Amino acid sequence: MSQIGLFEAPSLPSLSSLRPAAAMMAKVLLDKTASALRFALRRPLPIEQWPRIVDETKTALHMWSARGWLERPACYHVAPPDLSDADVQIDRAPRETNLRLSFESGYEPHADEPGRDRWMDYRSNAIAHAYLLRHPGAPRPWIVCIHGYGTGFPFVDGGAFGVRWLHEELGLNVALPVLPFHGPRRTGWQSGDGFFAGDVMDTLHAEAQALWDLRRVVSWIRAQEAETVGAYGLSLGGYNAALLAAFDPDLRCAIAGVPVAEFVELGRLHSQLAASRAEAAGIDWGDVTRLYRVISPLALMPRIPRRRRFIFGGRGDCIVPATQVNRLWRRWGRTPIAWYEGTHLSCPFEPTVREFVGKALTATLLQPAPDEQRDDPNSISDVA
């Protein structure tokens, strides 16, 4: 049996036969139920932690200002070394080669950053992972599929991205990296616990490490004589695909699906109790937003041309509202966008999404690359 089964999610009943209004109501209910359950099961930060978080935020903001990272957020990031020493476990099947990459992330916050010592104590998070499906024979294009919040397992992420379609029908090699705090890197009982727990510096370091690890995975792929590499992210993965495009000018495409655009706004929407506790302790959300400029796709513009950037969103999305999608779309210069009549969790089952992504991949990864100017006016690495 082909091990591609590890990348397949159980099929769900089709909503396409329902009337449009009833189908949308069912999708909205699914979004709201899943969101409520996720946040109900999450352990809130103890109230006594908030004064420490407020102090760290203020200290970090002074550091950011002194070092010029607020004006030039890309300078916060250190370029990671290429990945050459990964542990590669291989399983060969008749039609594909399946790989699991494991490697020491090597990410460390800056020496004097607030929260550094705490971050370095998250031992299980220090080992990065990526699941891959690779065709034997001649080099082919690769698509790096970046999962959303709370997943990081191949059978879930494979279903969300349609790995069988990407790998077998489109003929792509596929990589599914695991974000910090997720899947085998989790530190709590739920995948993703810690990424958005409310600790300001932990969230910043989680995202900085996510970008670092993604750049290392892409470097490993390129060392395999890859023809071209593209990035495709969903939700939090869409946020990361946008960040990766801000640091890698050689990406053939960046597809941001139902993308988060701004952490503070979304966190306050979904965690009102935690937000009220933070405010009572003296947190300034404006300070947090400024601090997060160094990990924000709204402050870091992509280095690939607009015609190779794509966005899609759900009109009824209750987890990442359309306002978030629109913010990234405007920041990306009103790049090609598709809207579907659905919600966050219905995304993998929407024909509009499959058609849009298929056209984007065909135009960028599956056709010869046109001659392009690297210094495209829409391709800048810092704030416009």
Rg of the chain (C-alpha set): 20
Q: Is the pLDDT of residue 375 over 60?
A: no
Closest CA to 211 of 79, 104, 339: 79
- As a whole number, the mean pLDDT across the chain is 88
| pLDDT score of 1 | 34
Q: Is the pLDDT of residue 271 over 90?
A: no
- Kindly state the helix (H) or strand (E) to which residue 361 belongs, with its residue range: helix 351-364
pLDDT tens across 102-146, in order?
A: 999 999 999 999 999 999 999 999 999 999 999 988 999 999 999
Q: How far apart are the first and last CA of the chain?
A: 51
Q: For residues 356 and 30, which has the higher predicted lDDT (pLDDT)?
A: 356
Q: What is the DSSP string of 140-176?
A: --EEEEE--TT---HHHHHHHHTHHIIIIIS--EEEE
pLDDT tens across 297-323, in order?
A: 999 999 999 999 999 999 999 999 999
| pLDDT score of 127 | 96
Confidence bin at 36 (pLDDT 50/70/90): confident
| pLDDT score of 18 | 57
Confidence bin at 95 (pLDDT 50/70/90): low
Give me the CATH code for the 21-364 domain, please. Answer: 3.40.50.1820
Answer yes or no: are the C-beta atoms of 169 and 213 closer than 8 Å: no
Ranges of beta strands (E only) in the chain are 87-92, 97-104, 127-134, 142-146, 173-177, 229-234, 254-257, 309-314, 337-340
